[in-house]
Amino acid sequence: MAKTSAGRYFEDFRIGDVIRHAVPRTVTTGDVALYTALYGPRFAVQSSDAFAQAIGYPRSPIDDLLVFHVVFGKTVPDISLNAVANLGYAEGRFLATVYPGDTLTATSEVIGLKENSSRRTGVVYVRSTGWRQDGTKVLEYVRWVMVNKRDEAAKPHTELVPELATTVDPASLGAACPSIHAAGWDFGLSGAPHRFDGYAVGEKIDHVDGMTVEDAEHQLSTRLYQNTAKVHFNHFAQVRTRIGRRLIYGGHVISLARGLSYNGLANVFHVAAINSGAHVAPLFAGDTVFAWSEVLGKADLPGRSDVGALRLRLVATKDRTCEDHPLRAGHDYEPGVILDLDYWALIPR
């Protein structure tokens, strides 16, 4: 029996398979400090225990995207070690608050399979779930990846392309956000006066600042998440590929863009759901990341007067500023666009 894992190929997946992923991971204030050092986030709830307590949290929760990256990292050895590309996300929901000291595990269910016309690859759809040590679901999301076949002649047992919601129903949001004491929210300390009513559908915000990424930085982050995808770490192998360089984990881009988005979205404190997301183009060390946001929608949360939900498009670019809100040029994305993420986030009312 082979001791090392070569990862699953397309024909190894079956619809309905439920995969329990290794390795459980306790998240600590050490991880929080590294997350701050890597992306510079300034959202007050995650930055300050005192601020979090003033609105009703027992202490600062772990940043939602750090939870996402840790859960995502666990799925890599089983789902995407032989992936060609990470194609998309949908139906992502944050379901419970995670605090320092909590331990995360992950499972994935195979919910779709579709061979590509080339016969050399296929698309695998999984619904991945993150769990807390007490058995509570903390996160759920669908992603689909293009995975190599071991054997071109192999056929999938069943093919199915799942029907996925284009957006998460806002009525289902907010499970990971306790009822907050809105009067305790100090808009001076949080950094901006804008609350739910201050944002309008259609509004576009250039987040202005740029952040250049170094190889050491994305390697530190990706290892922190115990994400083992080879393309991020192995210069020796990458220079022998068409790409020629280490690829930066797409989640690193999401966290950088979310960090930059503080400048314009200072009170948008909680990522509640991921409607859809695409890594439009790769990022490499030495590139500078910029970001802009568009308010795509607004929603009340049933029975809650403390917070409202903004549906936001977060676009990241590389080596291109965003004052003109670059996105599409015809059917394609504009050159320089690297991320197009559609998510729901909470903000005080």
Q: Interface residues for its own copies in 307-326 (CB under 8 A)? A: 319, 321
> Toward its own copies, which CB reaches closer, 168 or 310?
310
CA distance 142 to 93: 10
Site residues for its own copies, 6-35, by CB under 8 A, read 6, 20, 22-26, 28-34
Span from 174-182, 183-191, 276-284, 297-305 in contact with its own copies (CB under 8 A): 183-191
Q: How far is the CB of 54 from its own copies (least distance, A)?
A: 9
Asked if 329 is part of the footprint of its own copies (rule: CB under 8 A), the reply reads no
DSSP per residue over 308-332, as a string? EEEEEEEEEEESS--TT---EETTE
Span from 49-57, 88-96, 140-148, 151-159 in contact with its own copies (CB under 8 A): 49-57
- Selection from 276, 267, 269 nearest residue 314 by Cα: 276
> Toward its own copies, which CB reaches closer, 16 or 286?
286
Q: Which two tokens stand for residue 129?
A: 């779930």
> Toward its own copies, which CB reaches closer, 133 or 305?
133
- Selection from 307, 321, 305, 315 nearest residue 338 by Cα: 315
> Toward its own copies, which CB reaches closer, 230 or 304?
230
Applying CB under 8 A, the site for its own copies has a residue count of: 82
Span from 111-119, 144-152, 162-170, 284-292 in contact with its own copies (CB under 8 A): 284-292
Asked whether 142 and 112 are in contact (CB, 8 A), the reply is no
> Toward its own copies, which CB reaches closer, 93 or 318?
318
Of 18, 171, 189, 243, the one binding its own copies by CB under 8 A:
189
Residue 219's region, left for phi above 0, alpha for psi from -120 to 50, else beta, is alpha
144-to-18, 73, 122, 169 alpha-carbon distances in Å = 15, 15, 10, 20
Site residues for its own copies, 232-271, by CB under 8 A, read 233-237, 246, 263-266
Helix 64-79 vs helix 29-39: crossing angle, to nearest 10? 100
Q: Scanning the structure block, which residue is given the tokens 């890597």?
A: 38
Q: Which two tokens stand for residue 255?
A: 């966290």
Asked if 174 is part of the footprint of its own copies (rule: CB under 8 A), the reply reads no
Site residues for its own copies, 81-110, by CB under 8 A, read 101, 103, 105
> Toward its own copies, which CB reaches closer, 153 or 216?
216
